[in-house]
Amino acid sequence: MVEEGFSPRAMVDSRTRSGKKSAGPRSSRGRSRDRALLPKGGAPAQKGTVRLALVLVALVFINCYVFLWRDHTSVPAVMKQAQAMGNDEAATTAPTPAAAGDDPGGATDEVAADGELAPAPSGVIDGEVAKGDTVGKILRSNGLSAAEADELLRALSGVFDFKTLRPGQRFRIERGPDGRVASFELVVSKIITVRAHRDDRGELIAVEDQAETHLEVEEVGGKITSSLYMAVKGAGERTSLVAFFVDVFAYDLDFYNDTHEGDVFRVLVEKEYKGTEFLRYGHILAAEYAGKAGTFQAFWYQPAGTKKGRYFDAKGQSLEKTLLKTPLKYARVSSKFNPHRMHPILHKVRGHFGVDYAAPVGTPVWAAASGTIVKRAPSGGAGNLVEIKHDGGLVTQYMHLSKFAPGQKVGQRVEAKTVIGYVGTTGLSTGPHLHFGVKKNGAHIDPLTMAPQRAAGIAKKDAAGFRAAVAERQGRMNAISIREGGAGVDDDKDEIPDDGSGVGGVGTDDADP
C-alpha cells in the first residue's frame, strides 16, 4: 500500500537528477514524534525569561539592604567596629621592658627599622660541644645571625683548625651591652684555649693561648704479679704509660707471651705538668725490663743537630731492627707457620705461611718495619690485605683486616709502628685475628724464627755524650725501689683491658688462605 502523495517514480527521478540518495518523505510515526516535542500553547520561553529576571532583581535588593543600608551589618559599620576592637587590644597587650638578665645572649627574631635582626640582649652563654657539632652549627644554635657567625668564623680561621673540634670541649659566647658578640672562647685541651675578642676598632681578633707547662723526670718501678698493666697501675701510674713501655721494647719483647710473674721493670719518664696538674707523659728516658725472657734496657738519646731521638741499648746499638717482634701491641699467637697445616675451613692440607695473632676486632695493626705500601685491597680468602715492601728484599703481609687506616694509599711510604689497619675477620676466617706473613726474595719465611738485623747505632762523634747520659740515667734506675701491688691511681681513661692482654678472650684456630 502506497501512502497518498508518494510516488516511487518521482523518488527515482529525484535521485537520478541529484546523483545522491534521497531520504524520501518521512513516515507518519516520525512526524507525530516531532509534533510531540514542540511546546504546547503560546510562547513558554518568554514566560521563563520574565520569571528569572524577577528572581535576580529580588536578590540584588536583598544584598543592598544587608551590606549597604542595614545598621549593624553594612560594610562601613563592620569596618568601624573592627578598628575599635583593634585599638583596645593594642592597648592591653603593649610589651613591657624585659627584666635584666632574662634570656642572656638568647636568639631574637625582632626586626629593627632597617629590616635587619635586632641585636640580642647582653649576656653569657656557656656550652659543650656535642657529637656532630661544627663551629658554625654551635654559633647559629646559640642565637648568632648568619652575619655574626660568618664574622666570628673568619676571625677563627687563621688560628683554629676546625677539624680539631671534639665532643666535650667547652665554649663560651659573650655579648656586650650593645647586643653584639663581644668575645668567644673554646677550650681545645688542658693547655690550649682559642679566644676571640673585639679590638679598639670593633673588629673580632682571634688568638691561641697556651698554658705554661713544665717537665719533670720521675722514677717508676714495679713487679709483675698478673700483668704489666696491673703492675703499672699498682705503681701509682696512669695506664697510658703501658703503651709507652710497650713501644720502647717492641723489637725485643712480646708483652703477651714474654711477661711472667715476678718480672720487674724500672723507668725514668718525663711528666708534663700545668702547675701541679699532671697532663701527660713525655719521653721514657731510660727503661729496664728483667725477667725470664732476659734483661732488656733502653736509653733515649737525641744527638745534637738531629731532628728526633731514638732508643739504644747501653752499648749504643739501636733497638730498631728489621722487623718488630709483633705487629700488634697485645696479641696471642693462635696459629704458627706450618707448610702442611690442615685448613680448618677447607678441610684439606694447605700451607699456613705466616703467624696468626688473635685479637679483638678493631685492634690497631702496625707496620712491622719502614717500607712502601704495594697492595691495599680486598683479596679473596685473605680478606682486606695490606702488603708492604721493605729494604733487603722483604715483604710483609697483613690479612683479614676489618678496615684500612685512613689517609694511606698504594705507593706511600710508612714508618715502622705506623697503624696501617685494624684487626678483623674478613675473607676465610673463623674468628677475629691478624695473619702476619713475611716473604724474603719472594719466598715465605717464618716470622718467629727469622733473625732481624739492627739499624745503625750511635755515631762515633756522639759516643761520648751518649755514654755520659747513660751513666747518669743508669745510676738513677738502679736506685728505684720496686713496688708490689697497691691501689694505683683512678684512671678513668684506661684504654687497655685489665688483664693487659688486649685480647678480650678471643682465641680460635683461625683460617687463612
Could you report the per-residue pLDDT of 249-263, keeping only the tens digit for each?
888 887 777 888 999
d(CA 248, CA 281): 14
Asked whether the predicted pLDDT for residue 484 surpasses 50, the reply is yes
Indicate the range of 231-235, 312-316, 391-395 predicted with least confidence: 391-395
> Which carries the bigger pLDDT value, residue 35 or residue 93?
35
pLDDT digits (tens, 9 = 90+) for 198-214: 988 889 999 999 999 99
Asked whether the predicted pLDDT for residue 19 surpasses 60, the reply is no
Indicate the range of 26-30, 140-144, 170-174, 221-225 predicted with least confidence: 26-30
Taking Cα atoms as reference points, which of 339, 334, 322, 333 lies closest to residue 443? 339
Indicate the range of 50-54, 390-394, 416-420 predicted with least confidence: 50-54
pTM: 0.56
Amino acid at 34: D
The stretch 440-456 carries a mean pLDDT of: 82
Structural domains in the chain?
Answer: 123-210 (3.10.450.350), 214-320+457-478 (3.10.450.350), 332-445 (2.70.70.10)
The stretch 206-229 carries a mean pLDDT of: 92
d(CA 254, CA 374): 27
In contact, 345 and 488? CB cutoff 8 Å: no
**191-200: which pairs have CB atoms within 8 A and are 24 or more residues apart?**
191/274, 191/279, 194/156, 194/159, 194/160, 196/152, 196/155, 196/156
The stretch 296-303 carries a mean pLDDT of: 94
Cα 171 to the center of its chain, rounded Å: 20
Q: For residue 382, give the DSSP letter.
A: G
* Grid coordinates given for 37: 516535542
Burial of 220 per CB tally in 10 Å (0-12, 13-18, 19+): buried
Q: For residue 163, give the DSSP letter.
A: G
* Grid coordinates given for 33: 514524534
Burial of 421 per CB tally in 10 Å (0-12, 13-18, 19+): buried
The stretch 318-332 carries a mean pLDDT of: 78
Indicate the range of 13-17, 162-166, 410-414, 477-481 predicted with least confidence: 13-17
d(CA 208, CA 196): 9
Asked whether the predicted pLDDT for residue 161 surpasses 70, the reply is yes
Look at the alpha carbons of 444, 447, 450, 452 in this order and tell me if their dihedral is positive or negative: positive
d(CA 264, CA 288): 8
Helix-, strand-, coil-residue percentages of the chain, each rounded to 5: 25, 30, 45
Burial of 41 per CB tally in 10 Å (0-12, 13-18, 19+): exposed
In contact, 190 and 279? CB cutoff 8 Å: yes
pLDDT of residue 52: 79
